[in-house]
Structure 1
Amino acid sequence: MKPVEIWSAADEPQLKERLARRAEPVLLAGLVADWPAVQAGRQAPLAICDYLGRFDRGAEVMATKTRAAARGVMGYNDALTDFAFVKARMTLPEFMGHLAAYLPASHAPAIAAQCAKVGDVIPGFLDDNRLQALPGVVPNFWLGNALTVPVHHDHPHNLACVAAGRRRFTLFAPDQVGNLYIGPLEHTPSGAPISVVHPDAPDFERYPRYRDALAAALVADLGPGDALYIPPLWFHQVQALEKVNLLINYWWPVAVEKDLPAPAHALLQAIQVLNALPATQREAWAAMFGHYVVQREQDPAAHIPEAWHGVLARRQD
């Protein structure tokens, strides 16, 4: 695996545009190092919980707890018949109480309050910890101990900021999708399809192409104050490495013209329609999609007068 490129970028409005032009992930060293949350997280493992408690408003979070056989991974069981974790709603102080109780244990269950809305649960956090690069984007927070989220991808742009603890991201380009053994598109842990390969002990006999994915992967190790930009559709595995970790992440959408469906909806509809066709027809349509949609080799409208381009008219290059 190769390390992700590192920038020493400043938190400024121009950063959003620079990131949106990126085709690959980039690690932004120390981007949010001056946040009070980061300073609190450096003091002691549970200091970040004391800090977050200042902003608690009694809202509930969704807490995840992995089963013993999951080995700290929020994924499927080995037989692919069920999830290897359970979920429950509780208040933030209740969850932080579990986190504190597990702190001395050497083999504690992996737990996390995942994708909790900062604006709903700890709204005052935003006043203390601002990000000029993404004004108006309300982030999510991910608080927990040493837990691994298997390979998955997001549709929006993603800026992940480590406020406490350490995280390791393993990243795969979208063209590695066939090597990642992505699970069902509907029966998912939290909406995003995930790889069925166990990240800590891959079964290469069962999933041989995963070796090729790892050979092409990028890796980024983040400490307190660091941030990672992940472009849309880049697959990533996230490992929280300490007994207390806090991640703040910002998602902002890919620009899509008004009244057009989201690309993900178009993909799902294409899957449903084309899977009903015989293999020879799927191959034929693959050629059509490659020519008209992907347009990797040529512009399908280059020989047509511009006034007649219709749906082939280029919106963006």
Structure 2
Amino acid sequence: MPAVEEYPVGSITGAAAFRRDVVEPCRPVLLRGLVRDWPAIAAATDSPAAFARYLAPFDAGRDMEAFFGAPRIAGKYYYDETLQGFNFERRRMRFAEALEAIVAGLGKPDADSIYAGSLSIDDYLPGLADRNPLPMLPGIRPRIWMGHASNVAAHYDTMDNIACVVAGRRRFTLYDPRLIDSLYVGPIDRTMAGQPVSLAAAAAPGDPRYPRFAAVRDQALVAELEPGDGLYLPKLWWHQVESTAPFNVLVNYWWDAFSAGPDAPYTTMLLAMIAIADRPEGERGAWKALFDHYVFRENGHPLAHLPPERHGILGPLRDNYGRIRAYVMQMLRG
């Protein structure tokens, strides 16, 4: 499998350059050494116990949810055999209790594996983000993920993402969003942690239930991250995440780099699904032509044949966002 392209961190001169050179191409980029100077990484490099001591003064004492998996699952948090339940247990506890349990379980092969993630640092560890900043994303607040060695099934996020390794090692296996038909996606409303997963990527090679996956398996990109490394993941790229060290910590940043307002593309997709998906094939094809013309615009602006002053609400989005949104909301209200 080919490796994710690396981008020299020293060439990033600010937020505008980062957006232009790294984000706008909408391709994954490995940012080697992006956060190597973080104090949190120095503490984690000393030992897991030292990292826990470093976090202690920031701990707000809040409850959280952690995944506990029996030794037999080897850290692969997934569905059970029926796809109705899961192969792990969810437990509520305080942040410090979860971290203490993770550290205590190190080196004990008969102990449960533990995984805790997507915790807002501002909520659980206020002040930590300011001591460990990421200047090219001003105003974007991070989340923390920690646990033992684990394997999280390939899934996508609906936001752009920068993932930064603080402790341990991470292997990301990435699939282009355009391969979705060959990934055999599971339920979208019965998931491990919010997003649907690829059943094929989680299965053994050659599984006969997923014949199309064999042709795309080797199209995956791979990124191996050490402490201090970052990975930029564009929204909708599928990523399987393997934490390969006994103790692993990651900090990530989610944001929509190209948002013009509060409306999310995923919401639009779900609304389009209930409005269009079950209509006859001929009608779906007609709506697809309109979407291609007005939304995806592969042939350019839909009113390019008219002077700009005649474009109406199809003029510059920055000037018409509110008008279009008000029109849509009025239609939804009936």
TM normalised by structure 2 equals: 0.86
Query: Are 1:149 and 1:239, in contact at CA under 8 Å, matched by a contact in 2?
Result: yes
* Alignment partners' CA distance in 2, 1:209 and 1:301: 39
The answer to whether the Cα contact below 8 Å between 1:150 and 1:199 also exists between their aligned partners in 2 is yes
Deviation at 1:200, TM superposition (A): 6.3
Q: Note the 1:280-299 alignment, pairs <5 A.
A: 280-299=282-301
Please list the CA deviations of residues 111-130 of structure 1 after superposition, one character each: whole Å capped at 9, or x if unmatched.
Answer: 21111111111113123212
Aligned Cα RMSD in Å? 2.3
Equivalent residue letter for 1:264: Y
Q: Which residue of 1 is the match for residue 260 of structure 2?
A: 257
Does structure 1 conserve the Cα–Cα contact (< 8 Å) formed by 2:68 and 2:115? yes
Structure 2 spans left out of the alignment, 5+ residues: 319-334
Match of 2:236 among 233, 238, 245: 233
| 1:24 lines up with 2:27 in the alignment | yes
The one of 151, 154, 158 equivalent to 1:148 is 151
The whole-number CA distance in structure 1 between the counterparts of 2:212 and 2:111 is: 32
**Alpha carbons 1:75, 1:194 under 8 Å: kept:** no
Contact 1:204–1:210 (8 Å) recurs in 2: no
Asked if 1:13 is matched to 2:14, the reply is yes
Q: 2:330 — aligned with what?
A: none
Match of 2:272 among 266, 270, 273: 270
Per-residue Cα deviation, 1:22-44 (whole angstroms, up to 9, x for no partner): 32011111111111111112123
CA distance in 2, matches of 1:127, 1:273: 45
The equivalent of 2:310 in structure 1 is 308
1:66 maps to amino acid: G
Q: TM-score by structure 1 length?
A: 0.90
Q: Indicate if the aligned counterparts of 2:48 and 2:103 stay in contact, CA closer than 8 A.
A: no
Aligned to 2:85: 82
Q: Does 1:170 align with 2:184?
A: no
Structure 1 counterpart of 2:286, which letter?
A
Matched letter for residue 127 of structure 1: D
Q: Give the equivalent residue in structure 2 for 1:65.
A: 68
1:118 aligns with 2:124: no
- Counterpart in the other structure of 1:109: 112
* Contact 2:4/2:222 (<8 A) preserved: yes
Matched, 1:184 2:187: yes
Structure 1 portions without partners, runs of 5+:
none
- Separation in 1, partners of 2:291, 2:205: 33
Which residue number corresponds to residue 139 of structure 1?
A: 142
Please tell me whether residue 93 in structure 1 is matched to residue 96 in structure 2: yes
Shift of 1:58: 0.9
Identity of aligned residues (%): 38
Partner of 1:223: 226
Instruction: Tell me if the contact between 2:154 and 2:201 (Cα under 8 Å) persists in the aligned partners.
Output: no
The 3 A distance-change label for structure 1 pair 198 and 111 is: farther
C-alpha distance in 2, partners of 1:168/1:127?
27
Residues paired across the two proteins, number: 315
CA–CA separation in structure 2 for the residues paired with 1:301 and 1:77: 52
Q: Deviations over 1:198-236 (max 9, x none)?
A: 536345311122223322211100000000001122111
Change (3 A) 1:71 1:211: farther
Residues 279 and 200 of structure 1, relative CA distance in 2, 3 Å threshold = closer
Q: 2:50, 2:151 → 1: CA distance? A: 22
Deviation at 1:190, TM superposition (A): 2.3
Q: Which has the higher helix share?
A: 2
Whole-Å separation in 1 of the counterparts to 2:210 and 2:242: 21
- Whole-angstrom CA distance in 1 between matches of 2:175 and 2:316: 28
Instruction: Give the Cα–Cα distance (whole angstroms) in 2 for the partners of residues 114 and 21 of structure 1.
Output: 27
